[in-house]
Structure formats: structure tokens, C-alpha cells
Amino acid sequence: MAGREFTLSFETTPPTAVRPGFPFTIPVVISVNPIGTPAQNAQALVVNASLRDEACTGAAAGLSGNLTASVRSRADNAKSGYAKFSPLAISQPGKFRLRVMLSAASYNGVVTKEYVDSAVIHVHAGAAAAQQPTAAQVARLQRLTAENLDISAADIAAWQRA
């Protein structure tokens, strides 16, 4: 197997608790960075979100929303940058993790390059209907407004009022 070409990390994480069927208030944003110089045959980087069980040993049903996003940066679609998932919702109660996989599309097809799993998301009826962004999340989101992700200062203000 070839060495790792990219690192993935959560810029904004999924909520740790959410009500079944209620969309996450804050978008999940993934940071994608190359390790060294990535292979030049990649034409586009795409990330896909899926739901896993709490132990990440199997797939779980119930995740809805925009589950695929292009990696974008200030300079357009790129070999590094960010991808945004919004809105996301989980329809059934339980404990889950979000898995985000990075795929590279090239002339040879699509190849999965890397993945990252979130912390546990507890989906239950007693969770808040909306999640208040923390001060650190607000600062991170404000920094991301310049990154071609369709996140505006007005969006951030609305999420703070949610």
C-alpha cells in the first residue's frame, strides 16, 4: 500500500448529542491537507459522510442530508482545503459516529485515500433541538467564511441564536 497522501480532520465537529430527525445546527466542516506532494493525477477531491455504529465496526442507517462534498479552497476546487456537510440529520436514536472518507477522482477512476471518524454522537429524544456553537467554534467558523464554503457572518449569527 502506498504511503498516506492526505490528512483529514474535523474543523467543526458533529454535535455530541442531537434529537432524532433534527438537523445539526452547525455544518460539519472537514479540513483536507496533502502530506508532501500528492500524486498529480488526481483531478478532484471529494469527501463522503456515512454513519457507523458506536464502535465503528459496521455501517448504520439513518443519516440524511448532503452526504458528498467537493474539497474547496479560496482558489476553487483544490488539492487541499475544506469540505462542508450541511444539513445533516440522524433519524433513529442510538450512539453513532460519523465517518468521512476522502476520495480522489482521476482518469483511472475513483480511489479512497483516507478517512476520519468523529467522536460518539448520542441521538436521543432528550437532546437539545439546536446546538449552540462554542466560542472556539464561532472563531473557527468566522475564519472559514473566506474559504469558499458558503458560510457567512449572517449564518454564524443565526447559529448562535438557534
- In tens, the pLDDT along 53-74 reads 999 999 999 999 999 998 988 7
* pLDDT the model gives residue 41: 58
CA distance 115 to 100: 5
User: Is residue 1's pLDDT more than 50?
Assistant: no
**Band of residue 113 on the pLDDT scale cut at 50, 70, 90:** confident
| Per-residue cell: 120 | 460518539
Note the pLDDT tens digit of each residue in 21-39.
999 999 999 999 888 765 5
Q: Which helix (H) or strand (E) holds 141?
A: helix 135-144
Cell numbers of 22, please?
A: 433534527
| Domains, the chain, ordered by start | 6-161 (2.60.40.3960)
